[in-house]
Chain A
Amino acid sequence: DVKVTQSSRYLVKRTGEKVFLECVQDMDHENMFWYRQDPGLGLRLIYFSYDVKMKEKGDIPEGYSVSREKKERFSLILESASTNQTSMYLCASSLEGIYEKLFFGSGTQLSVL
Chain B
Amino acid sequence: LAKTTQPISMDSYEGQEVNITCSHNNIATNDYITWYQQFPSQGPRFIIQGYKTKVTNEVASLFIPADRKSSTLSLPRVSLSDTAVYYCLVGENRDDKIIFGKGTRLHILP
Report the separation of the CA atoms of residues A41 and B99 in the bound assembly, to the nearest whole angstrom.
12
Number of A-B contacts (CB under 8 A): 64
8 A Cβ contacts from B18-73 to A? 32, 34, 36, 41-46, 49
Contact with B along A84-113 (1 / 0, CB 8 A): 000000111000011111111111000000
Query: Which listed residue, B34, B43, B87, B96, touches A101 by the CB 8 Å rule?
Result: B34
Give chain A's interface residue range (CB within 8 Å of chain B): 20 to 34
Please, which residues of chain B bring their CB within 8 A of the CB of A100? 32, 34, 49, 89, 91, 93, 95, 98
- Tell me the residues in window 83-103 of chain B with beta carbons closer than 8 Å to chain A beta carbons: 87, 89, 91, 93-103
A74 at the A/B interface (Cβ < 8 Å)? no
Q: Contacts A40-B102, A100-B89; is A45 near B43 (CB within 8 Å)?
A: no
Q: Is the CB of B98 within 8 A of A45?
A: yes
26 contacts between A and B (CB under 8 A): A4-B43, A33-B98, A35-B100, A42-B100, A44-B100, A45-B97, A45-B99, A48-B97, A50-B96, A58-B97, A90-B43, A90-B44, A92-B43, A97-B93, A98-B93, A100-B32, A100-B91, A101-B34, A101-B49, A102-B36, A104-B42, A104-B43, A106-B42, A106-B43, A107-B42, A107-B43
